[in-house]
Structure 1
Amino acid sequence: MADQNSTLSDFRKGTPEDASESVRTRSLYTAYSYHEETVESCQDYITYQRYGDFSKFFEPPATDQWPAGVLAAQTAVSFTSTSPTQMWRLPRSPPKPLSYYSNDDVCVYPENWRDPESSESGPAIVTPYGTISLRLHERVRVDMTIDRAVRIINHKNNIVICLSGCGSAAALLHPNGRVYQYGSRVEIMAHDSAGNNKYAKMWYKGVSFTSEQCALVYLVDAAGTRTTTDNFCDMGQDFSLPVFYNDSRHGPSYFQEAVSILQSSQYWVTEEGIENWIVNNVRVSQTQDGLVRVARNSNKYQLRTSPSNGTASLTTPFLHCTASMGQTSHLFVRRGERRMHYDGASFIVRNAGHSAGFDEKNQLKVY
């Protein structure tokens, strides 16, 4: 089965065959509890830290596309390999020193939520750990590995979007909820301001869902809606870090290779003031209002986020999901014919022509 061959098997949870791992178990007779988890990644163990409280303000996603046409003015990057912090474009103002990574153990991935003190752009750098980091304006950072894994951090809105190097895993962390796709499975947590978070899982059987205050698990499949027994991942951890680092080469031994990649990168600005980078065949673009778009593999993989309105979207051959902040808040996930939509009040899952979920009063509703 496709999901059993996922390249992120070290981080998989929530399947009946993984009963030895620490997960939340739901059934007709048990209610789950929270667990502090230690997840195996590479050869070491990583202890993850939790994020702060979510915001409660939402807005619809942006619909604009990449700027049309190919611009003639493209500036090739000239770079010396002697300094990991050599700038390959001029910043708007001298950046203050930032520590993106821990100086302790390279295999320990800290949760990089240090907010830059300045919202101005800074340099593109190669870190001592063999990754490339672009510090963009409006407090957005784009990290890349030499295997083209991408992680976007929108500090202004507490949003993280991540894509693995092989493309088989992705993550979206947003104030509205969290999405973790690995192989053919998609785990979802929709944040509820009252504390009754909703959970869903898209997999080969259909769509399973439940909530914090519900002791039952429901499955929407080709036959309709029924109760079942299922497990769900603990979505309270920063699972974007193993998505970013797993299956990607990184570490001090890859520093020079990352420098070579950055030396051959391109940067230019359009007449409309849109900044563009091409780094290792990954295209990064940022508009004047801060909207960041990243494309890979001829646009088969697309990531975007806007600091101005808190929108985020992730599109891969495996799924499409969007989230927004503002008066029309939402979290939407689609994989094939399976869908989940949450607007802060109603939580609805759809599969094979059947729909079910929780209404505004957190009661089960079959549509």
Structure 2
Amino acid sequence: MDVTQTIGDMNQTQDANQSNDESPVVATSLNSDAPPFVPSDSSGISGSGDSQTQTYGTFTLKVPLDSKIWRSISASTPQNHRILSKKLSVPPVPLPINFISAANNHNLMTDVSSEGLICIRRQDNIFIDISLDGAIRVACPTQKILICVSAMATNIVIYHPNGRIFQSQSHVDVVAFDGTYQNNLVRYAKFWTKGISFMARDIPVVYLVDEGGLRSSIDNFVHIRNDYAMEVFNSRSVRHGSCAFVDAVNMMQKSTHTLRNSSEIFEINQIRIISNSDGTISIDRPTKSITIRINPRKGGIAVTSFHIHATASMGKSPHLFLRQGDRRLHFDGTVFCVRNGGYSAGFDERNQVTIFNKKVTLPHMNL
């Protein structure tokens, strides 16, 4: 006997079907009342035999009336997969949320947001957010620069036109590209226990530089997403939100603001912010050995912590540089080089894997 029924009626007729089938029918977890399961035409249902063809708009589904198949569908969880474009696309750096009234008022330099964050605006549209637990977020939307440091200073994420760096404890992930858009080169690297793994987007081979030299390897690399900034900024930070507003106001009232020579010094929550006349801004947190320097006029940054030292610049010498102990990474938009255990390797200007003889040195960072 032919059976014809809609997906919306399936949940209502399961008891009757279960009595006629040896295997019990498990209710599907899919919402049959939500698109695209709502049929565009009630007459677009036809079927005969053991299967039905149901048309919903542009979707055509063949639904076998078999309890085992329905049980398998009900037990599965749909997964969302991100399709990455083959072209180099640098997403815009997201602005920190709740940027307070200072974002639209040039006369107001400091404020407390509704989320209990101490918000500071300096010259050249530099926005600095500080939580009561000491987390730091520095943003320069005009240069697409965003830096976040967690409250315990164990996690750091850096967004820059020349690349992205995500550091968690001793593990560091890097993606480097040419911020001047003179080429379409993208490089990936990972600092971990075995050494430094690296690869190029257009070369399907992973290389590892360890104490024994250069070798091919099998490894995975993290796609550093935009939302890592919020994850790092809120990591191990419990005193934020509307409940922290009063404490943030009290912290603001205890801050100090002084002028020394041509520098403006603002101290709050054991964090010192120094604004210089040349546009350079320094944020220091001595208790956690954190130093952040940014010059939006040259697109330059320098971040130093207990785990890493990173610099990047869009000035006369565009580059991305990372140091962790005796390990190095340097990318100038064309040549990519990593160093570990006395061995240097990477990709040369011809996009060929190369073993370099000279050491990777710290580039001159003139902020």
User: Given the two structures, how large is their TM-score scaled by the length of structure 1?
Assistant: 0.68
In the alignment, structure 1 segments of 5+ residues that lack a partner are: 1-20, 25-32, 36-49, 54-98, 103-111
The one-character-per-residue Cα deviations of 1:79-103 (angstroms, maximum 9, x if unpaired) are: xxxxxxxxxxxxxxxxxxxx9635x
Q: Is the 8 A contact 1:177 1:189 kept in 2?
A: yes
Query: Are 1:165 and 2:151 an aligned pair?
Result: yes
* One-letter identity of the residue aligned with 2:149: L
Cα displacement (A) at 1:157: 1.4
Structure having greater relative contact order (Cα 8 Å, sep ≥ 6): 1
Q: Is the 8 A contact 1:121 1:136 kept in 2?
A: no
Query: Are 1:350 and 2:339 an aligned pair?
Result: yes
Cα displacement (A) at 1:285: 0.8
The one-character-per-residue Cα deviations of 1:86-145 (angstroms, maximum 9, x if unpaired) are: xxxxxxxxxxxxx9635xxxxxxxxx7x99567x45331111111110011211011000
Q: CA separation of 1:123/1:328 partners in 2, compared to 1, >3 Å: closer, same or farther?
A: closer
Q: CA separation of 1:154/1:319 partners in 2, compared to 1, >3 Å: closer, same or farther?
A: same
Residue in structure 2 matching 1:329, options 315, 318, 334: 318
Secondary structure of 2:164 counterpart? strand
The aligned counterpart of 2:307 is: 318
Query: Are 1:271 and 2:261 an aligned pair?
Result: yes
Write the distance in 2 (CA, Å) between the matches of 1:205 and 1:215.
20
The aligned counterpart of 1:239 is: 228
Q: Is the 8 A contact 1:310 1:324 kept in 2?
A: yes
Q: Matched residues, percent identical?
A: 34
Q: CA separation of 1:22/1:195 partners in 2, compared to 1, >3 Å: closer, same or farther?
A: farther
Cα displacement (A) at 1:297: 2.2
1:47-126 mapped onto 2 (5 Å cutoff): 51-52=91-92, 101=97, 120=106, 122-126=108-112
Q: Is the 8 A contact 1:164 1:247 kept in 2?
A: yes
Structure number with higher helix proportion: 2
Query: Are 1:227 and 2:216 an aligned pair?
Result: yes
Larger displacement relative to structure 2 (232-241 or 156-165): 232-241
Residue in structure 2 matching 1:151, options 137, 142, 158: 137
Write the distance in 2 (CA, Å) between the matches of 1:280 and 1:101.
21
Cα displacement (A) at 1:237: 2.4
* One-letter identity of the residue aligned with 1:313: A
Query: Are 1:213 and 2:263 an aligned pair?
Result: no
Q: Which structure would you say has the larger Rg?
A: 2
* One-letter identity of the residue aligned with 2:327: R
The aligned counterpart of 1:30 is: none
Q: Is the 8 A contact 2:102 2:121 kept in 1?
A: no
The one-character-per-residue Cα deviations of 1:319-343 (angstroms, maximum 9, x if unpaired) are: 0010111231111000011110011
1:176-195 mapped onto 2 (5 Å cutoff): 176-192=162-178, 193=181, 194-195=183-184
Cα displacement (A) at 1:271: 2.7
Q: Is the 8 A contact 2:274 2:282 kept in 1?
A: yes
Q: CA separation of 1:115/1:323 partners in 2, compared to 1, >3 Å: closer, same or farther?
A: farther
1:289-304 mapped onto 2 (5 Å cutoff): 289-298=278-287, 300-304=289-293
Q: Is the 8 A contact 2:102 2:110 kept in 1?
A: no
* One-letter identity of the residue aligned with 1:51: P
Query: Are 1:134 and 2:134 an aligned pair?
Result: no
Query: Are 1:256 and 2:246 an aligned pair?
Result: yes
Q: Is the 8 A contact 1:34 1:234 kept in 2?
A: no
Write the distance in 2 (CA, Å) between the matches of 1:259 and 1:150.
17
The one-character-per-residue Cα deviations of 1:144-163 (angstroms, maximum 9, x if unpaired) are: 00001001112231111221
* One-letter identity of the residue aligned with 1:167: A
Q: Is the 8 A contact 1:337 1:352 kept in 2?
A: yes
Cα displacement (A) at 1:360: 1.1
Write the distance in 2 (CA, Å) between the matches of 1:322 and 1:256.
36
Q: CA separation of 1:364/1:340 partners in 2, compared to 1, >3 Å: closer, same or farther?
A: same
Q: CA separation of 1:100/1:241 partners in 2, compared to 1, >3 Å: closer, same or farther?
A: closer
* One-letter identity of the residue aligned with 1:52: P
Q: CA separation of 1:356/1:307 partners in 2, compared to 1, >3 Å: closer, same or farther?
A: same
Query: Are 1:341 and 2:330 an aligned pair?
Result: yes
Write the distance in 2 (CA, Å) between the matches of 1:115 and 1:176.
29
Q: How many residues align?
A: 269
Q: Is the 8 A contact 2:264 2:276 kept in 1?
A: yes
User: Given the two structures, how large is their TM-score scaled by the length of structure 2?
Assistant: 0.68
Query: Are 1:305 and 2:345 an aligned pair?
Result: no
C-alpha RMSD of matched pairs (Å): 2.6
* One-letter identity of the residue aligned with 2:118: I
Q: CA separation of 1:327/1:289 partners in 2, compared to 1, >3 Å: closer, same or farther?
A: closer
Q: CA separation of 1:195/1:115 partners in 2, compared to 1, >3 Å: closer, same or farther?
A: farther
In the alignment, structure 2 segments of 5+ residues that lack a partner are: 1-78, 357-367
